[in-house]
């Protein structure tokens, strides 16, 4: 297989682009570095496409490795032929490769292998040839009766021969290809109730739909229902039609042996092919569903991590709770903890007024302007409690709050990392700190948590852990490097996600700055243990030094482009500080950038990046996004009425819609059909996590706490 040609075809790029990406990967470059600093080599492909190419490259190489393994195995078995090799070379999936190898693969004991040991292969060949002529079938079969070999009568001889034929038919790649196509095209997946009683799977107690049309979320739901014992799941197809497809390949009408071959074909289908093909197709269906779910998870994680930070504010974080109270942490604009407390807001504890006084005192003492409230147990009561405080303090114009996802906060608070960061803090207080910091800088705080624990997406606990980890780690890596990292303030967790930096190097960077003081130049990174030339090349462009000796080191300009950047400034008689003041933009008006790039001996994409970075040193791409929605009061689900217009924040995007926080502590669902007047294929075409959207109440079920929303204005 020509992997380069295959990649170029699948991703609709030029072969030279595919070849360049593959070479850059093979040379040990990280994907963020390739996307950002090698644009000329690959034609400015974006980071997402480069990651997809990398993933597909790994799949194709794995396929090629299996192809070679099978080819070598066939040679060792002395059954290899040029025709078989052609079939192997044409195979585009592992399933097809395994079907080709199947007839030759060493098998465990089977009915056919037992029959072969009894010497019944010639009888099987005789029957399969269907050219008996004047030979009496039963008389010929009787010649294979042997007490020594364990063939006691004619019936046993014929059955053994048919077992051999059935296995031959089942192992035939052509047969399997036809049956798989039949199932893929015409099969239905059916589900039925497996045990008495109510469950969340009631909608699947009597369900049928075409296999080819199964959406991923239903596949995963059915799998889970089956695993938990609530559902029976089957694939159904017209069996008679499937058997006829096999007979077209093996049956010759009109011979005395034909009925035996027909019986063997039917046995092959029911006993050998159906279980195997069903397992394979359901496995493929699950693999596809899992891949889709992982894609949705990654799709949600990216905007969640890239939510705009709430900068320059002192934040009070509230981690709700009943019996153990509501934990509080006040952090300053840099994330340093100023104060902590535990309050009890449940009326039955008779300490509500005391709790209010504690919070009011902390707000006044530290100049708090915004609160981050966790959305877990007792979250609604805590939200109402804080809304009352805003009203009582008369701070409507100064104080606001935002509901923050608690997902993963408990995982972080009990982790080794949290213990190192806050050794003197109770586990619950660490959660309150994490909640407050999530509002200040979601990216810096969420990288401390296993991405699976963040809780965006669907069925994350049913997915293949290795693939999910790889996909989510890739998203975190892309986000961290897109933003850039202050090398003098970043935690080891954040530094470890910089391209070219592993956990050891991250700790070494922190240890170096603690021992030697803040970095003043990027070149100092070369003195950090374990940062060799390759690691330096990969990471240095993503690390920022805001107060360093040269302002250029607070940009994404790579040191390898410093000469070009300085030549650019020199050409127009400017300093680095002039560029940030807008003078570079003025100087470049009407200038042919392509010609300028040639003059400076640098690629045009790189020059454009240099210009953008010099104009905005310390640029944070998150600042260009709409700010998060802060609230001052809370509503109850009972306050909602049909047609009410609301503003909300998208919390999760799944295959069939999006969940939106509208300020009633119960997220509402906007079904995919309610996102636009036109038909859309996936909710991600319309919204992403963190988006602030206008919605209208479509329906409310107070008892079941379900809210149906629409993004299509009523009457339109």
Question: Is the CB of residue 189 less than 8 Å from the CB of residue 233?
Answer: yes
- Residue 573, Ramachandran bin (φ over 0: left; ψ between -120 and 50: alpha; else beta): left
Cα 578 to Cα 559: distance, rounded to the nearest angstrom? 20
Each residue's pLDDT tens digit, 525-559:
999 999 999 999 999 999 999 988 899 999 999 99
Interval 39-46 mean pLDDT = 95
List the end-to-end C-alpha distance of the chain, in Å, as a whole number.
Answer: 53
* Residue 663 pLDDT: 80
Per-range mean pLDDT, top range of 29-33, 318-322, 458-462: 29-33
Q: Is the pLDDT of residue 85 over 90?
A: yes
Taking only the tens place, the pLDDT of each residue in 214-263 is 888 899 999 999 999 999 999 999 999 999 999 999 999 889 999 999 99
* pLDDT of the residue at 498: 95
How far is 252 from 258, CA to CA, in rounded Å?
A: 7
Within 527-572, where are the H helices? 533-539, 562-571
The pTM of this model reads 0.81
**Cα distances (Å, whole numbers) of residue 478 to 317, 471, 494, 594:** 28, 11, 12, 28
Q: Residue 247: what pLDDT?
A: 95
Structure tokens at 160: 């053994």
Cβ neighbours of residue 69 under 8 Å, at least 6 residues apart?
Answer: none
Q: Are strands 315-319 and 337-343 parallel, antiparallel or unpaired?
A: unpaired
pLDDT at 397: 62
Q: For 470, how many CA atoms within 13 A lie in the half-sphere containing its CB?
A: 11
For residues 498 and 543, is the Cβ–Cβ distance under 8 A?
yes
As a whole number of angstroms, the distance between CA 16 and CA 259 comes to 58
Residue 217 confidence (pLDDT): 86
* H or E segment to which residue 291 belongs: helix 274-305
Instruction: Give 260-308 pLDDT, tens digit per residue.
Output: 999 999 999 999 999 999 999 999 999 999 988 888 888 888 888 888 8
CB contact at 8 A, 670 and 660: yes
Using only C-alpha atoms, what is the Rg of the chain? Answer: 33
Report pLDDT for 312: 87
Mean pLDDT value of segment 155-175: 95
The tens digit of pLDDT for each residue in 608-618 reads 999 999 998 88
Model pLDDT, residue 395: 63
What's the chain's average pLDDT? 91
Residue with tokens 């949600």: 300
Half-sphere exposure of 493 (CA within 13 A, CB side): 18
Residue 690 has a pLDDT of: 83
Query: For residue 692, which phi and psi values (nearest 5 degrees)?
Result: -95, 120
- Secondary structure of the chain: what % helix, strand, coil (to 5)? 55, 10, 35
pLDDT tens digit string along 616-673? 888 888 887 777 777 777 777 888 888 888 888 888 888 889 999 888 878 899 999 9
Using a pLDDT cut of 90, give the percent of the chain over it.
64
Q: How far is CA 65 from CA 3, 8, 505, 594, in A?
A: 12, 20, 33, 44
pLDDT for residue 117 is more than 90: yes
Percent of the chain with pLDDT over 70: 99
State both tokens at 256.
């005395």
């Amino acid at each position: 297989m020509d992997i380069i040609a295959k990649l170029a075809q699948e991703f609709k790029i030029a072969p030279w682009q595919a070849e360049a990406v593959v070479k850059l990967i093979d040379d040990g470059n990280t994907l963020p570095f390739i996307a950002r600093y090698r644009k000329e080599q690959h034609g400015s492909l974006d980071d997402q496409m480069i990651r997809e190419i990398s993933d597909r490259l790994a799949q194709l190489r794995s396929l090629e490795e299996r192809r070679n393994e099978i080819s070598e195995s066939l040679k060792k078995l002395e059954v290899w032929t040029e025709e078989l090799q052609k079939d192997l070379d044409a195979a585009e999936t592992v399933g097809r490769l395994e079907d080709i190898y199947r007839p030759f693969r060493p098998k465990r004991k089977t009915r056919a292998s037992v029959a072969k040991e009894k010497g019944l292969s010639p009888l099987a060949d005789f029957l399969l040839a269907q050219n008996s002529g004047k030979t009496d079938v039963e008389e010929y079969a009787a010649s294979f009766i042997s007490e020594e070999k364990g063939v006691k009568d004619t019936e046993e001889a014929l059955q053994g021969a048919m077992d051999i034929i059935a296995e031959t038919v089942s192992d035939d790649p052509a047969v399997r290809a036809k049956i798989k196509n039949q199932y893929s095209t015409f099969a239905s997946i059916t589900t039925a109730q497996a045990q008495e009683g109510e469950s969340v799977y009631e909608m699947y107690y009597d369900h049928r739909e075409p296999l080819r049309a199964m959406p991923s979320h239903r596949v995963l739901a059915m799998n889970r229902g089956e695993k938990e014992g609530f559902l029976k799941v089957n694939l159904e197809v017209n069996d008679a039609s499937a058997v006829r497809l096999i007979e077209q390949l093996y049956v010759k009408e009109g011979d005395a042996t034909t009925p035996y071959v027909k019986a063997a074909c039917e046995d092959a289908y029911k006993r050998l092919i159906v279980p195997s093909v069903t397992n394979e197709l359901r496995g493929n269906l699950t693999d596809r569903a899992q891949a889709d779910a992982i894609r949705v998870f990654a799709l949600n994680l990216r905007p969640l991590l890239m939510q705009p930070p709430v900068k320059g504010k002192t934040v009070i974080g509230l981690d709700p709770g009943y019996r153990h109270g509501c934990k509080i942490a006040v952090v300053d604009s840099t994330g340093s903890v100023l104060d902590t407390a535990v309050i009890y807001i449940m009326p039955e504890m008779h300490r509500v007024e005391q709790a209010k006084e504690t919070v009011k005192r902390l707000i006044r003492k530290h100049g708090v302007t915004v609160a981050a409230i966790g959305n877990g147990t007792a979250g609604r009561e805590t939200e109402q409690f804080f809304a009352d405080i805003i009203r009582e303090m008369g701070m409507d114009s100064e104080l606001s709050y935002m509901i923050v996802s608690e997902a993963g906060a408990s995982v972080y608070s009990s982790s080794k990392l949290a213990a190192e960061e806050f050794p003197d803090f109770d586990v619950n207080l660490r959660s309150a700190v994490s909640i407050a910091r999530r509002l200040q800088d979601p990216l810096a705080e969420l990288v401390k948590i296993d991405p699976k624990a963040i809780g965006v997406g669907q069925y994350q606990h049913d997915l293949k852990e290795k693939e999910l980890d790889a996909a989510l780690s890739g998203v975190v890596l892309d986000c961290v490097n897109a933003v850039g990292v202050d090398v003098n303030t970043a935690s080891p967790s954040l530094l470890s996600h910089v391209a070219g930096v592993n956990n050891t190097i991250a700790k070494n960077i922190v240890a170096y700055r603690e021992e030697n003081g803040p970095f003043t130049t990027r070149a100092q990174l070369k003195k950090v243990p374990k940062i060799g030339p390759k690691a330096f090349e990969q990471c240095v462009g993503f690390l920022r030094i805001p107060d360093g000796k040269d302002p250029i080191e607070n940009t994404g300009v790579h040191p390898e482009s410093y000469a070009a950047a300085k030549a650019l400034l020199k050409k127009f008689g400017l300093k680095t500080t002039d560029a940030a003041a807008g003078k570079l933009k003025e100087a470049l008006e009407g200038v042919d950038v392509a010609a300028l790039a040639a003059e400076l001996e640098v690629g045009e994409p790189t020059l454009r990046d240099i210009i953008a970075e010099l104009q905005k040193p310390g640029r944070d791409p998150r600042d260009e996004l709409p700010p998060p929605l802060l609230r001052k009061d809370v509503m109850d689900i009972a306050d909602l009425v049909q047609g009410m217009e609301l503003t909300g924040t998208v919390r999760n995007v799944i295959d069939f819609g999006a969940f939106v926080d509208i300020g009633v502590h119960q997220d509402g669902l906007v079904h995919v059909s309610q996102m636009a007047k036109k038909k859309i294929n996936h909710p991600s075409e319309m919204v992403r996590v963190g988006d602030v959207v206008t919605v209208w109440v479509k329906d409310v079920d107070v008892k079941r706490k379900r809210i149906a929303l629409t993004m299509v204005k009523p009457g339109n």
